[in-house]
Structures are given as C-alpha cells and as structure tokens.
Structure 1
Amino acid sequence: MTTDPLLLTGEVDDATARLLATAETLDTAAITAASPLPGWTRGHVLTHLARNADGLVNLLTAARTGERIPMYASPAARTADIEAGAARPPAAHLDDLRRSHERFAAAVAAMPAPAWAATVQTHRGPLVAARLVWARLRELEVHHVDLGAGYAPADWPEAFAHRLLHEVAADLATRPDAPAMVLRFDGSRHELPIGTASAPTITGPAPALAAWLIGRADGTGLTVEPDGPLPTPPEWI
C-alpha cells in the first residue's frame, strides 16, 4: 500500500473520472439538493473538490519554488469560494472540476524529485509534499461518497480502502479520545489494534470499517466480539 505520489497519480485520474461520471448525471435540482454533509448541497461538495485541487496546486508550487504559499488565502476565503460556487449550473461544475484537475495534474508533473521532500503548510498543519497526491485521492474518494448520488464506500478501490483504514487507525492510536478496539478485516487474520489488548474486536470489510471510522457509515454489517455495541469513534478530520 503505497502513498508514493508518482504511483498514485493514475489513481487520482481514475477517481476523478468516476467523480465526473457521477457529476454528469446531476441536473440543477440534484445539484441544489442537500448532500449528506450537514449544511452543504451537492453543489457545495463539488465546488469544495474543485477548490481543494487548486489549494493543493498552491502547496505543490510552494514545495517546488520554496515560496511560502498558503493552501487557501484564509479560512474565510475558502468558505466564501465554496458558497459562491455552490449554486452554479451543472455545466459550470463539470468544467470547473475538469479544469482544476488539469491544473493539479500539471502541478504534479512539474515537481522535481527533491521537491517532494519539502514541508508545506496545510490548513491543518505541516505536511510533507509527497503526501499531497494521497491527500487529493482521499478527498476525491471520500467526498464522492458525500454527494449521496449512488457512489458508496463499497465502490472504493480495494487498495484505497486499505490505505485509508490504515491511516485512520494509526491516527486513532495516538488520540486519547479514541475508544479501545481491534479492527479485523473479513477473511483475514490481519488486525489493527487501537488502545488496550482487552478491547473488543470489530470485524468487517475494509471499506466498511474505514467508512464507519470516518463517519460515513453507521457500522451496519460490522460484528463485535465479545457481543456488544459498536464503540463510538471520535470525529475524523
């Protein structure tokens, strides 16, 4: 399970193509309808994805040039851009998604090898530039689900679901607000422990486990041993 930026670029292209295929099915009524994210329509989700690509272009440029370029001008500007674009017609959303992806792909292609080791400042804190392509892939796949338009965690590519699950589990293992548990994939003896060894074991497919941990599923279909309620994961990023 690699997060090598050059090996993930094809997966970003594929995820973008899947997102565009879904977006092409949305008419004006569907775009202005509520998404599963509180307070956001599908238009907000699509606009966020386009602006996220541009924000990552800013960070890639910072890594390549050594300039201090923020991902977004400010939190307020990020919010304003999403609000301003949310109610656009379907064709405008599609064009924006395509063009922002092209800008992102061009910025990745322009990166010299040493620049991937640079540290950039995201709106959540410092990050090594080599993680930016994975960050884009994660945004695409998770927010595609957030459109509530037929794409579900079960549709995630297997490699992506496993990467996401390992990342989230590793993060939870460092958080004092995370409940103790052991995550086990269906049909596998591989386990990801979080907290104490006496914790309950949660078993299910990797996409279902990951989606539950990040608040995109309620855990239906997961099993708990010994029998009991599912723990409550803390809020994801």
Structure 2
Amino acid sequence: MTEGKIMFRKSIAFAATLILSGCVSTNNIPIDEAKLTSAQPKSITVTQREKPDFSAMTAGKAYLGIFGAAAMISEGNEIVEQNHVEDPASYISQTLRKVLAQKYQLSVAESQQLIDSDNAADIARTYHDADLILDIETINWSFVYYPTDWDNYRVIYSAKLRLVDARNETTLAEGFCASVPEEEASAPSYEELVENNASVLKTKLRSAADHCIQEFEHNVLAI
C-alpha cells in the first residue's frame, strides 16, 4: 500500500471519529443537590424522541464523499430497522429516572409525547405534567472501521443529558457522554456486527449505554 493511501485511510477514519462521536460543546453542569431538595419536586418523567439516523461507515463508502455519507446513513437505518435495534437513549433514561425517583422519593409520570427541541422551556411545556423532566438525547450512534484495519469495526455512541424543572423552565443539570472504543484485536467484522439480528451490535450499544449511565451518575447527577 502506498504512503498516500495509508494517510488517506487515517485521515478519513480520524475525521469520521470526530464527526461520528457527536462532538458538541457541552460542559458537564452537575446537579445542585441542596437546591433540588429545597425545590421539593414530587414527580419525574422522561422525554421521548424520534429514533435518530444510524451511520454504518464502511471503507468503500468513505471514498464517495457526500454521496458516501448519505449511503452510510441509508444502510445504517436499514440495519436498525430490519434488526429492531433500539435507541440506547430509552434504556439510559429509564435507568436514570428510576435511580433519581428512588433518591428523591419522586413519583414516576409517563408520557408518549415526542419532542425535537433542545430548549429547556420547550421541554418543560411539552412535559408539564411532571415537576422534573429527564431528557436523554442520542447525539450519535454508528459503527466505523479502524484507521489501520478496514475489516474490523468499533461501535461509537454519544448522548446528552438534561434535567429540567418544568415549574420554572430551567435546566438543573446537563452533561455529555461519548463512547469511542480503542482498537482491539477482538473487534468484530461487519458480518459479525449484523449477523443474528445484529446481536453483537446490540451488545456493543448496551455496553456503551452502561458506560454513559455511569458517567452521568458520577459526573452530573451525584448518584
């Protein structure tokens, strides 16, 4: 392989990692436990969002530029649909809501309303039936080949957390989490990721979600 091709592979994969990890300018804003307790919330709910696009970045499509990006999303969404792959945001929000409800003795409210806004006021007005609203938004979920190995893949996931007080439409806590695995010898191939109803992909996404749960618990929610 020529040096030019090697550099191309590395530059494409590096750029993909930055984009696909969903890099956003979000600083963790930890919860103020004393302030929350004094506000005496009684209930908590979680937001519902449309399932975001999933990107399946293969080496062949990387050469196609913007057309390749569209193909990656099309293929990724097809994989998700055909194999019933769940957005990890739902699992993260349900898990953290349970922990917060137990810690602050909150009743749990359910809502099926969808939202596509990041604004605290919009979130509060949409889910006004609860005092607290936990919003977990998937920023990116995807898989991409490694810079030095186009035959094996890593699953990338990132999410944003917001805890909103519906009564005064303010954000009580905010955080960001990203899971971008390092290269490893046991990394799955494309075929291994999607076979058996994408069981390996689902396992990797659940592991990434568990990582984000721990990050949010320790760095944002003080749990």
Q: Which bracket does the TM-score occupy, shorter chain normalised?
A: under 0.3
Name whichever structure is richer in strand by fraction. Answer: 2
Name whichever structure is richer in helix by fraction. Answer: 1
Structure scoring higher RCO (CA < 8 A, sep ≥ 6) equals 2
TM-score scaled by length of structure 1: 0.21
TM-score scaled by length of structure 2: 0.22
